[in-house]
Structure 1
Amino acid sequence: MHMTPRLNIGTRGSKLARTQCGWVQRRIVEALGEDPAQAEAIAPLVIITTLGDRIQDRRLIEAGGKQLFTKEIEDALLRGEIDVAVHSLKDMPADEIPGLSICAIPEREDPRDAFLSPNFASLAELPHGARLGTASLRRQAQALAQRPDLDVVMTRGNVDTRLAKLQAGDCDALLLAAAGLNRLGLSAHIRDYIDPDLYATAPGQGALAIQCRTEDLNADWMQKLNHEPTHLCVTAERGALEALEASCRTAVGARATLSGDTLSLFVEALSADGKTRWQRRTTLHAPTRDTAHQLGRDLGEAIKAEAGPDLIQISG
């Protein structure tokens, strides 16, 4: 019997994006009270290629920034071609698109940056002048803050492409998000982690965002998929992102954790060479989304005021 889809879910076409979206898809179908085994019939995935996927030869800042990973998907959502979209939250610009809203944030995966290398066990063990692969200005700056002797190599592409470049000897080590490696079953490649309490991760790293048209907010299934502790933490992190006007042009990290009813927030910005770091840390008792967001904004604004025009870094 032919089944009419209840939702069409938009996603990028990379293996990681499809894996993440498939995980969300099954949980949406379950929240709708349907059989997850029928997920593709009830809530099919619609693959959308973004400009960010097509550009592989330069940093995103040189081509337009983070929105390159989201614009085509959000346009399809606004046109009604899809009903919801699934994004890696760290890829989403701070400002929401008019007419669209984040409707649910599931529980976050490991937010840490992972160190990968076939020959060396940690960033500290890399030899002088070793080549470190990353496409992130934040990871570049944080690595150079620890090891100014390293040669940072711009390494774009999906996870498999970057791993292949590492194995081919294009670089001696890679920094990647642990969450993506875990979701792809590639955790065995991880040799070490960057301590997020010393070097803040990207705002929203490890979290997925489910986006819908604002008029469709508050459906029952959205409430079931949302993980409020994660939502509170990433709301604080994105408040800092918003205040710092951060995109791929800025080396900015924000790390929030929740212990009981106390939210702790660590925000930092760095010069591209890692020589200058601006940092703020604070805690908040009994946070709400509004107060968490404001806390992030406050810390971001404090860093912005201290750093002044030195904050914006176009290149490394």
Structure 2
Amino acid sequence: MRRLIVGTRKSALALTQTGWVCEQLHARFPTLEIESKTIVTKGDRILDVTLSKVGGKGLFVKEIEQALLNGEIDFAVHSMKDMPAEMPEGLMISAVTEREDPRDVLISKNGHRFHELPQGARVGTSSLRRGAQLKAARPDLEIVPLRGNIDTRLRKLEEENLDAIVLAAAGLARMGWLDRATERLSIDICVPAVGQGALGIQCRSNDEEMREFLKTLDHEATRLAITAERVLLGVLNGGCQVPIGAYAEYVDGQVRLTGFVGRPDGSLMIKEAGEGSDPVKVGRDVALRLLERGAREILASAREV
């Protein structure tokens, strides 16, 4: 029997996701004994300002990654959308799980779908990416900053006089709350965050036994698709200060990728798409076309602020 320690954030969603991963590992390796260690990240501590103003990358993963590097935990379960494009030396993603629905969902107080929301409706979201795209589609909307765990944001829909909130479908599905969604927003309205809907399982690069355990959870089609998305993010060198989204599918040996960069107020949205057999090349090519079409200036202006 080998005893393992898994690192996770302490939110209900993070614990649910980690519990699912542990169940999958137990099913494959019944003699494993796995203990969870909850770790509070910077993104969990700072809840009174929007993520774009907190600054920095890896707001929900750095402390967990440090625990891995220190040998305090053996592996970690992350939402892939929280993972920066660059990986700390000595760590690796050994498995990317099969993706849940990557789309965002609208949850409205009165059952209105997105285009049925009243003029000037107040819509809560914690994401600059979501807010910019919602404003681009409906400039009349008032975007209200909304931080906290899923249950907190659902409660604030009622408490803060909001007409609707926008959350990731995947998180709601994992919590068993997807029936609360009013509408799944199409990719045309809201391109998802890079990696949204998939879990990344991280370990030390030199822990060969751990890597062997984890690779049994890897879903190849999801990993190839998310590789393209993460290459795009890395080329753009994007963080939380600029709305960036990407969504790829791996179908019949081809990666199809859509990416966007926009201004935070939704006044300019630049979208590009590409397809090919090499996810790295597809991600790079789409990112370079975005830069050529104006994303470079958007990114530069955000870094000057």
TM range (shorter): over 0.9
Does the Cα contact within 8 Å between 1:197 and 1:266 map onto a contact in 2? no
For residue 8 of structure 1, what is the aligned residue in structure 2? 5
For residue 279 of structure 1, what is the aligned residue in structure 2? 271
The range that moved more, 168-177 or 11-20, is 168-177
For residue 283 of structure 2, what is the aligned residue in structure 1? 296
For residue 17 of structure 2, what is the aligned residue in structure 1? 20
Supply the AA of the counterpart residue of 1:7.
L
Provide, for residues 107-128 of structure 1, a one-character-per-residue CA deviation record: whole Å limited to 9, x for no partner: 0111000000121421111111
Over 3 Å counting, the alpha-carbon distance change for 1:303 and 1:217 in structure 2 is: farther
| Alpha-carbon offset, residue 302 of structure 1 | 1.7
The reply to whether residue 261 of structure 1 matches residue 250 of structure 2 is no
Supply the AA of the counterpart residue of 1:299.
V
Unaligned runs of 5+ in 2: none
Unaligned runs of 5+ in 1: none
Which residue, out of 106, 117, 128, partners 1:115? 106
Supply the AA of the counterpart residue of 2:220.
E
Does the Cα contact within 8 Å between 1:106 and 1:208 map onto a contact in 2? yes
The range that moved more, 4-13 or 103-112, is 4-13
For residue 225 of structure 1, what is the aligned residue in structure 2? 217
Does the Cα contact within 8 Å between 1:103 and 1:222 map onto a contact in 2? yes
Q: What is the SS of the residue equivalent to 1:67?
A: coil
How far apart, CA to CA, are the structure 2 residues paired with 1:6 and 1:232?
Answer: 31
How far apart, CA to CA, are the structure 2 residues paired with 1:222 and 1:204?
Answer: 18
How far apart, CA to CA, are the structure 2 residues paired with 1:149 and 1:313?
Answer: 25
Q: How does 1:105-144 map to 2 (within 5 A)?
A: 105-144=96-135
For residue 26 of structure 2, what is the aligned residue in structure 1? 29
The range that moved more, 82-91 or 62-71, is 62-71
How far apart, CA to CA, are the structure 1 residues paired with 2:112 and 2:20?
Answer: 31
| Alpha-carbon offset, residue 198 of structure 1 | 4.8
How far apart, CA to CA, are the structure 1 residues paired with 2:300 and 2:202?
Answer: 29
Task: State the identity as a percent.
Answer: 44
For residue 311 of structure 1, what is the aligned residue in structure 2? 299
Q: TM-score, normalised by structure 2?
A: 0.94
Which residue, out of 203, 206, 214, partners 1:212? 203
Could you list the runs of 4 or more consecutive aligned residues of structure 1 that deviate by over 4 angstroms after TM superposition?
312-315
How far apart, CA to CA, are the structure 2 residues paired with 1:47 and 1:198?
Answer: 35
| Alpha-carbon offset, residue 81 of structure 1 | 0.2
Does the Cα contact within 8 Å between 2:245 and 2:261 map onto a contact in 1? yes
Does the Cα contact within 8 Å between 2:137 and 2:189 map onto a contact in 1? no
How far apart, CA to CA, are the structure 1 residues paired with 2:139 and 2:301?
Answer: 17
| Alpha-carbon offset, residue 278 of structure 1 | 1.1
Provide, for residues 14-38 of structure 1, a one-character-per-residue CA deviation record: whole Å limited to 9, x for no partner: 000000010011112222243xxxx
How far apart, CA to CA, are the structure 1 residues paired with 2:189 and 2:178?
Answer: 22
Q: How does 1:234-273 map to 2 (within 5 A)?
A: 234-273=226-265
Q: TM-score, normalised by structure 1?
A: 0.91
Which residue, out of 152, 159, 162, partners 1:171? 162
Does the Cα contact within 8 Å between 1:61 and 1:314 map onto a contact in 2? no
| Alpha-carbon offset, residue 5 of structure 1 | 5.1
How far apart, CA to CA, are the structure 2 residues paired with 1:204 and 1:222?
Answer: 18
How far apart, CA to CA, are the structure 1 residues paired with 2:179 and 2:4?
Answer: 35
Does the Cα contact within 8 Å between 1:118 and 1:173 map onto a contact in 2? yes
For residue 155 of structure 1, what is the aligned residue in structure 2? 146
How far apart, CA to CA, are the structure 2 residues paired with 1:296 and 1:176?
Answer: 25
